[in-house]
Amino acid sequence: MSTPQPPYGSSDEPRDPRDENGRGDQTPPPSAPRPPQPAYGTTPPPSAPQPAYGAPQQPYGGQPQGDRSQQPYGGQPQQPYGGQQQPYGGAPTGAPAYGQAPQSPQGGNGLGIASIVVGGVGLLLSFVGFGVIPAIVGLVLGIIALVKKKGARMLALIGTIVSGLGVLIGIAVVIFGVIVGLASVQAINESLPTSGSIDSGDTGTADGDASAENNAFGDTFTYDDGIALTVSAPEAYTPGEYSSGADQAASVVFTVTIENGTDANFDPMPYETATSGGVEASKVYDSDIESSPTTVVPAGQSISYRIVFSVADADQIVFQMSPSFDYDDVVFTS
């Protein structure tokens, strides 16, 4: 058999990829054949069956992926960041917005403010002795607010301090008032003489309550401070034409002597009453009878004046008087 010959113009030697100019072969390599294109206006057949819309897809490897609308990447259920719902464009619900400081709980602020208000009222009233109770209430509210540890503790601390000051000042004012009151009562009691002595000449002297002793007319009663009273026995008196008050059976006149046995001037303001036969006597005003003394009695001196009463029974008279409003009454009888 004859050996096949190459076509005309061909050579058995390998062809040099460079051309006659020294450059490499510029002929591009043949491309892969293109798949046949369908005619214009026709629908190409699908290369593989596609799942229905919304059906679970199977990734590479044949494992079902599940519903992509319910499971995010990685197969984990979708949860908002931090476990809180995040609204569109904002911070999670319940969290402070960007740029805002977190708000502290307000549970204890009400008690703290109430402690400041009530304690302040108690502090103001404590200076007049009526703020102890409001201050105690404010102190209790402040302590409760501090124990609860809610809200601004500074408010509770201020309320506690203000209320405590109100309690202390109120108690001090009350104690001071009680002390001053007792001292005033004691001073008044000391300024009112309640005892004296009776000088009757024949029977000597006796100490006792002035109003509890019946002194005889003509006796001298001496108070503890040295003021002495003497009332003479009653004498019959005939009122003048222009007198007034003589409306009973008889009129009698008494001579009263006030002696100042103290070391200072005495300003007499005597007050006299009388009864006769169980009937209140009437004081007689007559132009011939001098009025009660209105000038001071110097130390160691005395003053005398007369007074007239209209009585029902001249033989049974009770005469009662005091030299001034701050002295006990002295009783003189027939």
The CA angle 20-26-27, to the nearest 5 degrees, is 115
pLDDT tens for residues 182-203? Answer: 888 877 766 654 444 444 433 3
The pLDDT of residue 154 is above 70: yes
The CA angle 44-47-49, to the nearest 5 degrees, is 110
Q: What is the structure's pLDDT at 142?
A: 86
pLDDT tens for residues 224-271? Answer: 999 999 999 999 999 988 899 999 999 999 999 999 999 999 999 999
Taking residues 5-15, what's their average pLDDT? 55
Q: Which ranges of the chain would DSSP assign to H, the alpha helix? A: 109-126, 132-148, 153-191
φ, ψ dihedrals at 108, nearest 5°: -100, 0
| The dihedral sign for the CA sequence 208, 213, 216, 217 | positive
Q: Which amino acid is at 2?
A: S
Decide: helix, strand or coil at residue 11. Answer: coil
Q: Which two tokens stand for residue 300?
A: 């160691």
φ, ψ dihedrals at 207, nearest 5°: -90, 145
Structural domain spans, the chain:
109-190, 196-333
- Rounded Cα gap, residues 46 and 34, in angstroms: 17
The yes or no reply on domain 196-333 and CATH 3.40.50.10420 is: no
Q: What is the structure's pLDDT at 260?
A: 96
Which of 257, 264, 274 minimizes the C-alpha distance to 218?
A: 257
pLDDT tens for residues 73-98? Answer: 545 555 555 445 555 444 455 445 55
End-to-end CA distance of the chain: 202
Mean pLDDT lowest among 47-61, 114-128, 244-258: 47-61
- Structural element, H or E, at residue 252: strand 250-260
φ, ψ dihedrals at 40, nearest 5°: -60, 130
Contacts of 96 (CB under 8 A, 6+ apart): 102, 103
